[in-house]
Amino acid sequence: MYQKQLEEYFAAHQAQMVEDICTLIRIPSDRQEPKEGMPFGEGPAKALEAAMEIGRRMGLQVTDYDHYVATFDVNQQERGLDILAHLDVVPVGDDWTVTAPFSPKVTQGRIYGRGAADDKGPAMAALWAAKAVKDLGIPLSKNCRVILGTDEESGSSDIRHYYAKEPEAPATFSPDADFPVINVEKGSYSSDFTASWEEDKQLPRILSVKGGFRRNVIPDRADAVLEGIRLETVNDACRAFEAQSGVRFYAEEKDGKIFLSAQGTAAHASTPEMGANAVTAMVELLTRLPMADSEGFRKLCAVQRIFPHGDWAGKAAGVQMEDEVSGALTCAFSVFEYSLTGLRGMFDSRVPLCANEQNMRDVLEKAMNEQGMQLGNRKMNPGHHVPADSPFIQTLLRCYEQYTGKKGKCVAIGGGTYTHHLKNGVAFGCADPEVDNHMHGADEFAVIDQLVMSAKIFAEVILSLCR
């Protein structure tokens, strides 16, 4: 009903919206050491101050919640909708080429800079949507609140602080993902596992194995040191396994020991099929070598049986499952250390809605215990689901279709968003899933037309839910 007015409004205000995004990008807001009044350090606090100044200039009602988050209200009526975004960013490297990370550059219809896509650009699209509704003077019976946090990238303690003080709105979306609507987020179960034994000096033996650095990243590197085995034997095993594993192996002899490395392909733990896991490949290769029979080697073989290379569905571990709404389980064995007297591993599972403690955690615990290994964490993180046929989701899809001309649909993901623990919260935009914005990487950018279109969609949603 208000599409023509919104089109005209954003055509007139696009330049100011872009400048507001650039203002925020100029502030390095990765998490830093806390200071008084700055719970996540100086950068996030400065970004929040800048956003509040923008909100006051817009005529929105601004409230500071202890510098954890700030809220921006269209009016003082009962809340009908919350829009939840964040101003903190991930750290930067020195491999940027288009511009420096915190020196925004507008070129070829894009804004380059850290946070342009995640999540300063979308945050400003939400604020400008709220301002548009206010400026157009369209009567509302409910309030829309934009909530901007400062700790999403490092654990979301900002939002826990806010919701300890305020109730949830009847509906919440976060423009911190892809369009159309992410209404299902899988649960997760991650844990370490350990085993120990007495040193066995029989040769050949494995002196050490090390690979992976974070449980939610498919590792692209693993290393091992062997003793009492011929280099030719190791190389033969490497060549035989490389084509099957998709991982390259390199071995050299030095000071009577074999130094072995595996080079795979990194990926996010929620999409393990996109990578080539160097840890699982290394473990499987080692079990193929003619090592002396020892308790440590038997434990290594047990690890391989539970987490064989290429099995990201949890089949060997006995936890393979899926459901129609959220899809299939994924399991990533991502961190491993092995010594002469013990081992420690970590895995990260993204589990469908049908998973529970009995069919997931207890099954893995039994498999570990039978092999003399101990599972650490016993707590599962449940999945999140807002039904696709709910009026809220149908409103989001209708507004998306109205402004994009594309068919809307609901999507399930293995990762978690800002709204994972909100009863009626989903992720909605701003990114086009067909565009690689280099989020978290060098030369991050946002497409200006995509951000402006998102702001129009968000304004339409506000009018639909609060008018």
pLDDT tens, position by position, 114-172? 999 999 999 999 999 999 999 999 999 999 999 999 999 888 999 999 999 999 999 99
Single residue among 324, 345, 375 that ends a domain in this structure: 375
- As a whole number of Å, the end-to-end CA separation of the chain is 12
Question: How would residue 449 be classed by pLDDT, with cut points 50, 70 and 90?
Answer: very high
Average pLDDT over residues 174-183: 95
User: Do both 249 and 124 map to the same domain?
Assistant: no
* Token pair recorded at residue 183: 């209404």
pLDDT reported for residue 94: 87
* Residues 83 and 145: beta-carbon distance below 8 Å: yes
- The tokens of 51 are what? 């956003």
Distance between CA atoms of 269 and 246, rounded to whole angstroms?
A: 17
Alpha-carbon span 40 to 44, nearest angstrom: 6
Give me the residue label for tokens 């990762």. Answer: 415
What pLDDT does residue 206 have? 98
Does 180 score more than 90 pLDDT?
Answer: yes
> How many Cβ atoms are within 10 Å of 43's Cβ, its own excluded?
20
* 131 and 169 together in one domain: yes
Q: Do 200 and 294 meet the contact criterion of CB atoms below 8 Å apart? A: yes
pLDDT at 82: 98
Tokens of 457: 């969609």
Same domain, 208 and 282: yes
Tell me the residue ranges of DSSP E strands in 278-419: 322-323, 327-328, 330-338, 342-351, 374-375, 384-385, 410-413
Structure tokens, 3: 């599409």
Q: pTM of the prediction?
A: 0.84
Q: What SS3 state is found at 396?
A: helix
Q: Which residues are catalytic?
A: 88, 152
Q: Is residue 366 domain-shared with residue 390, that is, in the same domain?
A: no
State what percent of residues in the chain have pLDDT above 90. 90
Q: Of 113-117, 187-191, 265-269, 292-296, where does mean pLDDT reach its minimum?
A: 265-269
The pLDDT value recorded for residue 160 is: 95
Query: What tokens were used for 139?
Result: 């009567």
Domain span holding position 310: 187-375
Same domain membership, residue 209 and residue 325: yes
pLDDT of the residue at 440? 83
Question: 226 in helix, strand or coil?
Answer: strand
Q: Are 279 and 340 in the same domain? A: yes
Hey, is 85 helix, strand or coil? Answer: strand
Note whether 176 and 260 are same-domain residues: no
Residues 239 and 370 in one domain: yes
CATH of the domain at 36: 3.40.630.10
Mean pLDDT of the chain: 95
- Write out pLDDT tens, residues 17-65: 999 999 999 999 999 999 999 999 999 999 999 999 999 999 999 999 9
Same domain, 281 and 416: no
- Which one of 375, 395, 417 terminates a domain? 375
